[in-house]
Structure 1
């Protein structure tokens, strides 16, 4: 997944100074952002009020979109550095290609996990023959300093562990929930889980008090800790909980995002996560020169061009503005 903004704002985040160490309810605003040739996504993180949730540093929600007469997702080859991308679908299919030579179709509730490490490039597109609907989320995880220069990797997991109880079902995308652990590679204490709530369901989900959490509503109107959420809402919940009350009057689903607060300060600009202006500038230059990130073969189209850097130096600061 790429940030296709031609004038991307630098995002300065990380550190524990502004972590909310108690339970809160903060509904984070979204903005519409073009994605490829014909789609629009709702960007929920980073937002004006919050930059990270644990190591999660980027959240886009898209659809459900009717793409029966459209090409669907068409995101040309682009670079990544210092992060993991998580592709998560409720409807449709996405064909992933990368500079490692990976070629994989990701389907609903399968995990497509790309660890960029020091450098990787990839593209994402709806297959030529595709279904009517496209609906999903694209998420980024910041890599800690000890792992951000590692060799890049791609993982695809068609089968993921599930937790059930009280009519509620949870698919563990990353990390561990209630004793069930995802096979996806993680580098910080983190959780991502897709929670399905049938109409009339009531449950208390066990969570860790030292994690901060947020809920991204995918469909229906889930009620999370007493707050009813419309689709495409991102509710930041802070820390300090041992359980999370859930209920739904209609069939609903949401993604629970959480993790130990990310301790390091970092800079996120375009599709790069780094620690300094010089590091980001070198990545931009390397992508423009066609070095370091490799080549994505098989995509019918030119790679994305890197936008110009802002006129002022990028400086890592805290987690919220």
Structure 2
């Protein structure tokens, strides 16, 4: 979508930013930097004690008098996401920016309490559901922004999303697992993040709510540390070639704070520049199909009514 958002009066100071995955990695780095620029934060985290510790650390480290709220949620549970959305709406009269940053990769085939494959549920369905539950508040707060963490890893999903195997049973079969099935599943979810972004932008055209996604690059974080010895060894090697969380968070912060009138709604960014994603990631028909499937998997019509 080529609509240019021109908003010279945009100022991050005093804006309220809801961010998931802010207790580590690029989410934490971004939260610190946004608060340092005067933004108020709502941190969505699973570990309440750790989130409160980080909230206190952020508040004492910035020169601004900022609010840092803590909201507790398990992003693998749709019931938990619905509850945290209710909590945010009750607490926050404004939501100026929603940053969908939480993500994970699971080496073994796991199902959530909702009966959905875990990587798909956390990386795609969670931001899809949370965004839609907060959408009216974002519209009321317009101009506002939705920023979703994607990845260059989406390019590995060369055949797109297998809509006939949404629970990825084939990808986690013994043979496919040896051939990198779990990693391919992660790539599919990152492809889904981009498709979600472009369809959200299309649906929100004219509302004052903008939708962006970005690639943080290869970042040295604690990502993929809970999937066994091989995964930890692989990540240890990758860290030798990785950028810092602060560097990885730069584009996220820029999308939240930029007043540059060249920011394009619905596009994908790398290193603060527009980047063309894979051909499949630009397919609006696939994006529309994914949206309908996601509505069904999250029972969105039931939740909103």
- TM-score normalised to the size of structure 2? 0.30
Q: Which has the higher helix share?
A: 2
Flag the structure with more relative contact order, 1 or 2, with Cα contacts below 8 A and sequence separation at least 6.
1
